[in-house]
Amino acid sequence: MELFNTLSKKKEKFNPIDGKTVSMYTCGPTVYNYVHIGNLRTFIFYDILKRAFELEGYTVQHVMNLTDVDDKTIKGSQETGTSLEDYTTVYTNYFMEDLKRLNIKDNIKFPKATENIDEMQSIINELLKKGYAYEADDGIYYDVSKFNDYGKLSGMTVNGKYSRIKNDDYDKENAADFALWKYWTENDGKVYWEGKLKKGRPGWHIECSAMSLKYLGKTIDVHCGAVDLIFPHHENEIAQSEAYTGQKFVNYWVHAEHLLVNGQKMSKSLGNFYTLNDLVQQGFNPLSFRLMVLDSHYRNRLDFTFDSLKKYEKLLKKIDLSIKSLEKTEKYEGNNNNARVQQIQDQVNKLLENFKAAVNNDLDTHSALVAFFSLLDLCDSTAEKGSIDNLEYKLLKDAVDKMNGFLGVYVEYEIPKDVEELAEKREEFRKQKNFVEADELRERINGKGYYIADLPRGFVITKNYVE
């Protein structure tokens, strides 16, 4: 498998440290508000990267932190008069719900920053002892000029000009000393920790270093985020972690490009964002957004429009129909060696090969989707015959499951009993050539949020998709 490593700026062959498990740390959300679909593009990318490792046969230890203490969460909790914990729990729960709706696998450990303060304090003390950190009036800072390798990820160099930054909103153009620990001020209210350091709270960067070290070890295989995190966040994580352990922090840095709206990065501060709920309220299936994300390469910017989302609803409907039609065909015990089965086997194998090669080529998910849709076309042409050999069916179904096991764009769902019954009744009317009544029932089913497709062998019901 080949992956583009931001550290070397080239595609590299991927080899995990121990040959079989992948330790993967992905920067998670700041839980001060709803996440927007720009953030979610990045979280889908994490999911896909993990599934690619799993497809290769690796076991993945996936950690995604929750930033539940920083300038924004404190401000939000104060404005709403709730405790920091109550405030961030609300948004954490919404976030988890979004992940579920996007079929993001839940084999993830989600540590919270506030649960790992002790570890952060230990690292900061050690950095002070080693001379990489110093105390100022308002907190403890990392001295970027002390770390020789500063800039190795982002190319940003220390220009000697003295500057120091306390806020969690960082200067993206210049290297500066950054806060490891911020001494308490009245603005922080009840949010502070004591213990090994003077009353205060952590800076943002130290949170990720501490959690990556604690949950995955000194040197890990993969660390991810979107490109805006390369500098200063990830550069600072390297500086802190490598100064602390004396070892390489991360072997592969993998970054995803942004989701844009009208050419601009989708962001809360610009106000040009949509949440997943905004899409759902307009009738879109969350998985059509997942499909949209997969259709572009993670290292390309992706411009979001509702028109293009509609295109993915159509494709989602096609996937749904093809899979259901295949399942609906009548299967018979056939002559296992016949030429047809062999032919299907060859076609399926070729598609699986293309699929795997695409995934392993730095996550070429667009080409992987091309292979998937060719497979669905093959399913359609086979299903059109009405009845197929059991073996033919199994070959096709296994390949669909295998590809979808990576793509995650089709999730089985229940059709309510009453909708099933109406559909059966409609079929009766159709057989009696009573099309007026049949159409009426189709409308009723539609009103309940479902769609009936008539196939050579009876009907298939799907959810409604946006047309």
Binding-site residues from annotation for Zn(2+): 27, 208, 233, 237
Kindly tell me which of 208 and 220 has the beta carbon lying closer to Zn ion: 208
Name the residue whose CB lies closest to ligand AMP. 38
Identify the residue among 3, 27, 179, 211 touching Zn ion (CB under 5 A).
27
Provide the minimum distance between the beta carbon of 38 and Zn ion in the complex, in angstroms, as a whole number: 16
Least distance from C-beta 226 to Zn ion, angstroms? 11
Minimal distance, residue 215 CB to Zn ion, in Å: 13
Q: Do 344 and 392 meet the contact criterion of CB atoms below 8 Å apart?
A: yes
Q: Are 289 and 276 in contact (CB under 8 A)?
A: yes
182 binding partner (options Zn ion, ligand AMP, none; Cβ < 5 to 8 Å by kind):
none
Q: Least distance to Zn ion from the beta carbon of 212, Å?
A: 8
CA dihedral 265, 266, 272, 277 (to 10 degrees): 170
E strand segments, 257-360: 259-261, 264-265, 302-303, 330-332
Q: Which residues bind ligand AMP (CB under 6 A)?
A: 27, 29-30, 38-39, 41-42, 225-226, 228-229, 258-259, 265-267
> How far out from the chain centre does Cα 288 lie?
14
Binding site per annotation, positions for ATP: 268
Distance between CA 25 and CA 65 in Å, rounded?
Answer: 8
In the bound state with ligand AMP, the residue whose beta carbon lies nearer, of 112 and 265, is 265
The CA distance from 162 to 167, in Å, is 16
> Which amino acid, one-letter code, is at 111?
P
Q: CB 30 → ligand AMP: shortest distance, Å? A: 4
By CB under 5 A, how many residues form the interface with Zn ion?
2
Is the distance from CB of 392 to CB of 372 less than 8 angstroms? Answer: no
Of the pair 3, 27, the CB lying nearest ligand AMP is at: 27
Q: At its nearest, how many Å lie between Zn ion and the CB of residue 166?
A: 18
> Which residue type sits at 36?
H
Question: Is residue 169 exposed (0-12), middle (13-18) or buried (19+ Cβ within 10 Å)?
Answer: exposed
DSSP state of 69: S
| Nearest-angstrom CA–CA distance, 209 and 181 | 13
Q: Where are the beta strands (DSSP E) in 239-320?
A: 250-256, 259-261, 264-265, 302-303
Tokens representing 344 are 């299907």
Q: Give the interface segment with Zn ion, choosing from 46-54, 81-89, 164-172, 208-216 (CB under 5 A).
A: 208-216
| Partner whose binding site includes residue 52, from Zn ion, ligand AMP, none (CB under 5 to 8 Å by kind) | none
Residue 208 contact among ligand AMP, Zn ion, none, beta carbon within 5 to 8 Å by kind: Zn ion
CA atoms of 421 and 432, how far apart (whole Å): 17
Applying CB under 5 A, does 363 fall inside the site for Zn ion? no
List the single partner that 267 binds among Zn ion, ligand AMP, none, CB under 5 to 8 Å by kind: ligand AMP
- Minimum CB separation from ligand AMP for residue 170, in Å? 12
User: Residues 179, 208, 309, 391: which binds Zn ion (CB under 5 A)?
Assistant: 208
Q: Which of residues 41 and 50 has its CB atom nearest to ligand AMP in the complex?
A: 41
Q: Are strands 259-261 and 302-303 parallel, antiparallel or unpaired?
A: parallel
Considering the complex, state which of residue 208 and residue 369 has its C-beta at the smaller distance from Zn ion: 208
Cis peptide preceding 286, ω within 30 of 0: no
By CB under 5 A, name the binding residues for Zn ion. 27, 208
